[in-house]
Amino acid sequence: MQRGVSSIPIAIFAIAAIIIAFVTIQAISHSGSNSPQAQFKLGLAYVHQSNYAKAAYWYRKAAAQGFAQAESNLGDLYEQGQGVPQNYTKAAYWYGKAAAQGFARAETNLSNLYALGLGVKPNPAKSAYWDGKAAAQGYAAAETNLGDLYDYGQGVVPKDYAKAAYWYGKAAAQGFAWAEYYLGELYRNDQGVPRDYTKAAYWYGKAAAQGYSLAEYNLGLLYYHGQGVPQDYAKAAYWYGKAAAQGFARADYILGVLYERGQGTPQNYIEAYKYFVLAKAAAYDDEAAEYNLDGFYDHSQGVPQDYLVADQWYFTTKLGTTPDNTLYQSVAHAMRNLSSRMTPAQVAQAQSDAEKLYKTLHH
């Protein structure tokens, strides 16, 4: 319902951006200015019109004069293959030119290429170096990357949760959703900071407000268990629903359980079965679908422990997911149990509803 209302101002802003871009192009083109600032603005205006080829042309002209923002943006175009053939080597080259001038975003993007080995040989030391340069300027993405390095002990730094919390905290203070979420994780898990469910809920809430699905899901878990927030099944269902709307399979599964039990939602077997179907499909398709869900359950609910694992908060990833993964097996078991309490017509309706919702989510 709200989608139609919100689309009006979005459309107005989009039209306004196009008009501004057009006026900018006309004004600068007619002025005949050869300044790199003007050329950069032309490139930016063409990006707003989705004319990436012309954007690349003007960025290149400004970059040839050593304009750092143009060098960085030209690197973006080569990395994404927009207006130019995708070429990570050229992306690294242009990021390097801008990074050498201390342009923080380029430093971070260059770090990412070294971390992934795209266009350059993988080099964890160089990746950490460039993140450090950008983080020293307060660039939130780089601060978050450093948090990750210390959180997982990646690259050339030892695992150090206190330092991870420090860097996540720096980025979270700037509203960077990834950092907000992982800072919440550290508070929840007593890692680098004293365990504090209230602070975990706070940071999950900040990230969830930006639509970060992992935070939405974990905030749902806190409301379900009453950790750091008053126990509230309705709010738990709300946040699981937000994560499920983004195709987050764990949320589909637990939302199905809530509908089956009537916790935070009216009991509805058709809705429960629908969400189980969605979770099962996602568990089969997702490359990161070996989920750990055991802590959600009270074993009196009759869920065999064989299907589940010990830690509700984390999930491991593996490539080449098969129907043997934990989530898939858990959902399959839940569907078998639930279908025994439903009529064939109800099962068919749930399957149909799930197919329609799946197509909407994955359109």
Per-residue pLDDT tens digits for 311-363: 222 222 222 333 445 677 777 777 888 888 889 999 899 888 888 887 777 66
| HSE toward the beta carbon, residue 136, CA cutoff 13 A | 9
Question: 12-137 is classed in which CATH architecture?
Answer: Alpha Horseshoe (1.25)
The pLDDT, as a whole number, for residue 311 is 25
The pLDDT, as a whole number, for residue 329 is 73
The pLDDT, as a whole number, for residue 53 is 97
The pLDDT, as a whole number, for residue 181 is 97
Residue with tokens 């083109």: 29
pLDDT band at 235 (very low <50, low <70, confident <90, very high): very high
What's at 26, amino acid-wise?
A: Q
The pLDDT, as a whole number, for residue 309 is 26
Residue 31 has pLDDT above 70, yes or no: no
Q: How far is CA 139 from CA 146, 183, 216, 312, in A?
A: 11, 17, 25, 32
Q: Give the pLDDT confidence of 155-212 residue by residue, as tens digits.
A: 678 999 999 999 999 999 999 999 999 999 999 999 999 999 999 999 999 999 999 9
d(C-alpha 57, C-alpha 48), whole Å: 15
Instruction: Return the percentage of the chain with pLDDT > 70, whole number.
Output: 78
Residues 300-317 have a mean pLDDT of 28
Burial class of 93 by CB neighbour count within 10 A (0 to 12, 13 to 18, 19+)? middle
Residue 295 has pLDDT above 60, yes or no: no
The pLDDT, as a whole number, for residue 357 is 82
Kindly report the backbone phi and psi dihedral angles of residue 89, in degrees, each rounded to the nearest multiple of 5, phi listed first.
Answer: -65, -45
Domain ranges of the chain: 12-137, 247-363
The pLDDT, as a whole number, for residue 326 is 65
